[in-house]
Homo-oligomer: A and B are copies of this chain.
Amino acid sequence: MTAASLPTIKFLQQPTSAAWIEQAIAHLDTILLDHSHCERKAAGVALNLIFRYPSSSKLVRTLTAIAQEELEHFEQVNQWLDRRGIALAPLSAPPYAAGLKAEIRRSEPERMLDSLLVSGLIEARSHERLGLLALHCPDPELAQFYRGLMASEARHYGIYWTLATTYFERTDVGQRLEQLAAVESELLATLYPEPRIHS
């Protein structure tokens, strides 16, 4: 089983390891529960950016659409949990998101640029990993579900990138993305022992 079965996702410096796929497939119920939390958090992040930049109309418009879509996915994943008899429950977060958040510079306008790029990177990684689940998941219906999500999620990291280039110079965006993408890959270089979407 190799992670190289999917084309490389733009934005990501390192592809997901085969070790993650094995861990995820061996703990699909936990991965589904964590996925529910990820969708909920993604909606929350989009909404927080709308709260923080209420005058940036393009950001408000596009992130409203993203938040709506994440909430739809959240609902769909919860239906899958219900179907498999997995109770909704809290789940400890892996160090991934906190590690990326720590890279967000505190002062504006850098904070806005970093926030958009960190969200874009998380979306890109989620997109890659849902694709791997679609490819390797032994339950064909669940695999189909992951494929469906991927198709609509594929746009999200592009949207965050486009927003970044709307408010910032393209070369600045590219340079900063490269730095953050290096951190992102580094954070996933060692597999987190608990199975998670971003372990």
CB distance from A74 to the nearest CB of B (A): 6
Query: Which of B44, B78, B87 interacts with A51 by CB under 8 Å?
Result: B44
CB distance from A41 to the nearest CB of B (A): 8
What separation, in Å, do the CA atoms of A54 and B92 have in the docked complex? 12
Query: Which of B61, B68, B88 interacts with A72 by CB under 8 Å?
Result: B68
**Given A55-B89, A88-B55, A90-B55, are A67 and B71 neighbors across the interface (CB < 8 Å)?**
yes
Residues of chain B with a CB closer than 8 A to A64's CB: 71, 74-75, 78
Against B, the Cβ 8 Å flags (1 = close, 0 = not) of A27-69 are 0000000000100100110010011001111001100110110
Residues of chain B with a CB closer than 8 A to A47's CB: 40, 43-44, 47
Residues of chain B with a CB closer than 8 A to A71's CB: 64, 67-68, 71
Beta-carbon contact of A37 and B55 below 8 Å: no
Chain A interface size range = 20 to 34
A63-116 contacts to B, CB under 8 A, are 64-65, 67-68, 71-72, 74-75, 78, 82, 87-90
A residues touching B (Cβ–Cβ < 8 Å)?
37, 40, 43-44, 47, 50-51, 54-57, 60-61, 64-65, 67-68, 71-72, 74-75, 78, 82, 87-90
Given A64-B71, A64-B75, 9 more pairs with CB closer than 8 A: A44-B51, A55-B88, A60-B78, A60-B88, A61-B75, A61-B78, A67-B71, A68-B68, A71-B71
